[in-house]
Structure 1
Amino acid sequence: MNYELIGGEMADFSDREPVGGALAAYLIGLLRPLGGRVLLAGPHAPALVGTLAEFAEVTCLVRSQPDAAALAGRGATVLCGSLAKLTGAERYDAVVALDGVDRLCSVEGPQYDWAESVRALHRVLRPGGALLLSVENELGVHRLVDRATVTFAHTTDAWRPEGEFGTKPGSPDRLESRLAAEGLTVGWLGAAWPLPAAPAFAATPAALRDGPSGALSAAATASVAAAFAGRPVLSDPRRLTAAAIRAGVGAEFAPCWLALAFRGAELGVLVPPVLTGAGPAADLPAGRVLEELLIGACLRHDLPAIRRLLAGWVAREPAAGFDNVLVDGDTYTVLDPARATGEPGAVLREFAETLLAGGYAQPWPAAADVPSLTVILLAAAGLAGTVPAAGDVPAAPDSLREHEEQVRRLEEQLADAAARVAYAETELIHRDAELRRARLQIDAFAGKVGYRITRLGARAARRAVRAVRRSPLFKD
């Protein structure tokens, strides 16, 4: 056995979805100046263990015995058991809990709440040590769009699903206050998207409040779009994320918060205010997202603005999606060049799907389907070409609210079709009645002498006209 059982270990059980990703690895790399010994508490991806092992002596604490066996031999000391069995006899230069503290206790011992778990991790920190902690926001965007309730055990690792009724702090300010109450000095705190288990974009509350909201919302929305593509949700998390950041409450609705706190005075570990998976974000450009400007123009039925925006996009950045282009006056800037699609038709089709699925009012109500609306957008952009197939467009979240909007639109179309059918039936009834009256009149007069003489005269007149037309004199 290459791991140590400390008590409270859980056999035949494994924690699903350990936290990982490039952003988590970057944050762990910032602890390099601390060196020494590092405790990795909770389920973390093996790649993160390797990142830590490059510069520190790593000790992993997991409650699952199969997970402990899988981590053994990766250059780290592995402790298998409950957080309650961790004593203060061993001290560490840093404690990393990027999975949070919800999966540190086992069924074989006390069930610590959030504050008790943080206190237990604090005890094993040496003076001046650092705690890198993740805290899930129960009112985050990922929870607001989740179709399943968080207060019911849907998985075996959530036998105490308290959700918003738990003791975790519910805002960045409260998180900082709670950590300060435990004797920890917060050196950096960031709101992260799209999911607590796989953060890909993070920004401090100050950066979200004072920075370029267009670029920040576009970056956060891009990470959310990649994480929720095709997933069943209540409503589109991309819209909620962008709206929260534009309104200045992005940090309050972020899926999780990442905090770097120190026991005692803050050490010289500098964390940039905005982070992506590749590291610190470059200077973010000013301007608003092109997609937002186009949707606003559609809502106002402002056709000149739509044509002007589409013409500027075609002339400058036709290979980039509308959600990846920032517009500042006449300047069009691509936020992430790696996301360029290279096909303007696919971009326009994706925007048509966004308009129709989102229930946005648009100035072409007759275009009730994606191909028809895409043809109109191609013409408005001055482009000629065929409508791309649906498979060429990135998958959107499987949103229940958007499905409801589609059903409402179909109901309107069916109601309009039913009204047209009812009108046609009414006209047919009226015309059938008029035809019956005409036939009755014809039958009434058909047997009289005057009617017969009239019919004979009409026939004779028709014959005379035909004879005259066949005459050579008429042809000359």
Structure 2
Amino acid sequence: MTPDRSPDSTESKTASEVEASAARSVMIGAEMLNWSDLHPEDGRPATAGRVPAALLEPVLRAADTVLVAGPHSLELIELIVDQVASVDVLARSAPDAEEIADALSDRPVRVFCGALDRFTPEHGESSYDVIVALDGLPRLVGPDTPVLTWADALEALKARLAPTGRLLIAAENAFGIERLIQPDPTVTVPRDEAWPRDVAGDVAAPAGLKAVRTALEASGLTVDQAYSLYPELVGAKVAVADASGPLVGAVIARAVASRFSGPTLTDPYRTTHDAVAAGLGNELAPAWYFVIGATDLPQVLPGGAVPDGPGVLLEESLLTALRIDDQVAVRRTVSGYVTWLLAQDAATGAVASADNVLVDGTSYKVFADGVVVEGSGEALVVGQLARFVRRSLEAGSRQPWAAGSSAHDLTSRLVSMAGITVTTELWATVADGNEPVQPTGNAEQLATIARLSQELADASTQASWFESQLDGIRRSRPYRIGQAVLNPARVVVKRVRRVVR
């Protein structure tokens, strides 16, 4: 649907009319009458979830006056209202403004509907203790706002912030990890929300983490804390102040892998894990939260998202050993894991996949909540190792064996290292064991095809060499003499056999 332009008559309303409005919302200009960010038909939903909630909790205080700027879920707004003295909400969507006002009609909330550039000091408070803009700045304007840059929008919010106030603001990354994983369909088929905008008036954030920090500092704001968000801004599952380290990388990679489905350019999990390992976790984050005026905040949102303690994922240890063809390490790792797995209770063993177990020497522990693998005893071992094999094949990881090996063959080879034979009955316990496995990403598919082509070329070269060797033997003098000696004997043997019959 196409956003409607607002009539000029709505711009004459002031904040004093909020109390007189049945829905307790007032249109301030550039509002969108036929649009919803809370219930979009062809656009992104409002910011919501545990991550922004976890950030708001330690920042808000009971006596605060708060401005919520931009699309935030009704649940988030209610959470804010429950913790502070008063809340003003700025929403560009008229249906959203009415819904928020109706839902919070008995609470200290005022709702202003329109664009940020129409939100003047006559609307709301002259200054706020806290301004919450965790959806970013682009959705603070509509098509009736001709020119407003990101710096202009930031300055407008800063002007309404109290001298000792706290600002929570989000910014999307123009070159996040998703650009390496999956092409953006909105480039060729734009959503309805991507209406044309003046190039000079684009409210998109500056490109890159360093550029956003520089823009904030140029505006006179000091960033006290910055979080890298994954897998996206509006549906963030984890936010970390320092996106580095193997355990953080595993948590982030899981979040990103859950975000993408269908054909991708590269494997989501492996690409993200490798990017974090290379020290690019902060720079390639899909979005960031910036906190101004608040300190002593947690390093990870929500708390406990990244388990504490030493160790690396068992999957990473196995993949590393397979990559360098360290058969001794593979056998030792598999044997130790299987011994530990068989000693666990049913609930622990069911989620103790190689991608969900931390190993520190000979010590093992479950990393987090994981995929449940049914079975017990040897069936559980086969199921868990089959899951590892499937994940390694989907990631296009290098194997020291033939690239065309099936999941059954590779699983049998690993399980045999623990003294277990994969029978037909045992393999039948793996539900998807006979399904063909191919790499998830196009890049990994091309790499696998290249390895298969190389193996075929090597096999063809070896066959040609053996043929040439055999041809040389057949032409040699000893071979011809042997043939001359053996041929009469063959004739005699054949005649004797016929007589005996």
Distance 2:263 2:404 in 1: 27
Which residue is 1:452 aligned to? none
CA distance in structure 2 between the aligned counterparts of 1:136 and 1:174, rounded to whole angstroms: 12
- Note if contact 2:352-2:370 (Cα within 8 Å) is conserved in structure 1: no
In the aligned structure 1, how far is the partner of 2:98 from the partner of 2:57?
Answer: 25
Aligned equivalent of 1:251: 282
Q: Give the conservation status (yes or no) of the 8 Å contact 1:103–1:157.
A: no
Alignment of 1:354-365 (within 5 A): 354-365=391-402
Task: Map 1:5-404 onto structure 2 (within 5 A).
Answer: 5-15=27-37, 16-33=44-61, 35-56=63-84, 57-75=86-104, 76-89=109-122, 90=125, 91-148=127-184, 151=187, 154-160=190-196, 168-205=205-242, 208=243, 213-228=245-260, 230-262=261-293, 267=294, 269-276=295-302, 279-281=303-305, 284-317=308-341, 318=349, 319-337=351-369, 341=373, 343-365=380-402, 368-384=405-421, 385-386=426-427, 388-390=430-432, 398-404=440-446
Task: Name the SS for the 1:242 alignment partner.
Answer: helix
Distance verdict in 2 for CA 1:138–1:31, change over 3 Å: same
- Asked if the contact 1:84/1:109 (under 8 Å) is kept, the reply is yes
SS in 2 for 1:199: coil
Structure 2 unmatched ranges of 5 or more: 1-21, 38-43, 342-348, 375-379, 468-490
Higher RCO (CA 8 Å, separation ≥ 6 residues):
1
Asked if the contact 1:232/1:397 (under 8 Å) is kept, the reply is no
CA–CA separation in structure 1 for the residues paired with 2:170 and 2:499: 103
Deviation at 1:111, TM superposition (A): 3.5
| Structure 1 residue identity aligned to 2:247 | A
How far residue 258 of structure 1 moved from its aligned partner, in angstroms, is 0.9
Deviations 1:24-69 (A, max 9, x none): 1111222222642211111112211121111122222221222223
Question: Of the two, which has the highest radius of gyration?
Answer: 1
CA distance in 2, matches of 1:29, 1:390: 43
What amino acid sits opposite 2:89 in the alignment? C
d(CA) in 1 for partners of 2:251, 2:236: 12
Q: Partner of 2:280: helix, strand, or coil?
A: coil
Task: Tell me the SS of whatever aligns to 2:222.
Answer: strand
CA distance in 2, matches of 1:98, 1:168: 13
- Is 1:62–1:81's contact at 8 Å kept on the other side of the alignment? yes
Residue in structure 2 matched with residue 432 of structure 1 by the alignment: none
Q: Distance in 2 between matches of 1:17 and 1:147?
A: 20
Q: Find the counterpart in structure 1 of residue 19 from structure 2.
A: none
Whether contact under 8 Å (2:314, 2:358) holds in the other structure is: yes
Q: Which runs of 5+ in 1 are unaligned?
A: 427-454, 467-476
- CA deviation profile, 1:101-144 (whole Å, cap 9, x unmatched): 11111001234222111111111212211111111111211232
AA aligned opposite 2:258: A
Cα distance in 2 for residues equivalent to 1:257 and 1:464: 93
Cα offset for 1:366? 6.7
Amino acid at match of 2:146: P
Deviation per residue, 1:82-117 (Å, 9 max, x gap): 111111342222111111111111001234222111
One-letter amino acid of the structure 1 residue matched with residue 153 of structure 2 = S
Give the equivalent residue in structure 1 for 2:16.
Answer: none
Q: In structure 2, the residue corresponding to 1:106 is in which secondary structure?
A: coil
| SS of residue in 1 equivalent to 2:413 | helix
Please give the alpha-carbon distance, in whole angstroms, between the structure 2 residues aligned to 1:407 and 1:374.
21
Q: Structure 1 pair 462/314, CA: closer, same or farther in 2 (3 Å)?
A: closer
The letter of the residue matching 1:303 is Q
Distance 1:214 1:462 in 2: 73
Indicate how the Cα distance of structure 1 residues 33 and 462 shifts in structure 2: closer, same or farther if over 3 A, else same. closer
Distance (Å, rounded) in 1 between the aligned partners of 2:148 and 2:332: 59
Q: Which amino acid aligns with 1:13?
A: W
Q: In the alignment, is the contact (CA less than 8 A) between 2:439 and 2:445 conserved in 1? A: no
Larger mean Cα displacement after TM superposition, 13-22 or 131-140? 13-22
Percent identity of the aligned residues? 34
Shift of 1:22: 0.7
CA contact (8 A) 2:46 2:73 kept: yes
Q: Is the 8 A contact 2:394 2:440 kept in 1?
A: no
Task: Supply the RMSD in Å over aligned alpha carbons.
Answer: 3.5
Distance 1:392 1:366 in 2: 17
**Closer, same or farther in 2 for the Cα pair 1:111/1:104, shift >3 Å?**
farther
**What's the CA shift for 1:170?**
3.7
- The answer to whether the 8 Å contact 2:251/2:305 transfers is no
How far has the Cα of 1:306 moved from its partner?
0.8
Give distance in 2, aligned partners of 1:85 and 1:383: 72
Counting only pairs closer than 5 Å after superposition, residues 382-461 of structure 1 correspond to structure 2 as 382-384=419-421, 385-386=426-427, 388-390=430-432, 398-405=440-447
TM-score normalised by the chain length of structure 1: 0.77
Q: Please give the alpha-carbon distance, in whole angstroms, between the structure 1 residues aligned to 2:156 and 2:433.
A: 51
Q: How far apart, in 2, do the equivalents of 1:135 and 1:55 lie?
A: 25
Question: Is the Cα–Cα contact under 8 Å of residues 134 and 256 in structure 1 kept in the other structure?
Answer: yes
Counterpart of 1:357 in structure 2: which amino acid?
Answer: E
Distance 1:143 1:67, change over 3 A: farther
Conservation of the 8 A alpha-carbon contact between 2:247 and 2:307: no
Change beyond 3 A, Cα 1:81–1:391: farther
TM-score (norm 2): 0.73
What is the CA–CA distance in structure 1 between the aligned matches of 2:26 and 2:399, rounded to whole Å? 64
Contact 2:385–2:415 (CA under 8 A) maintained in structure 1: yes
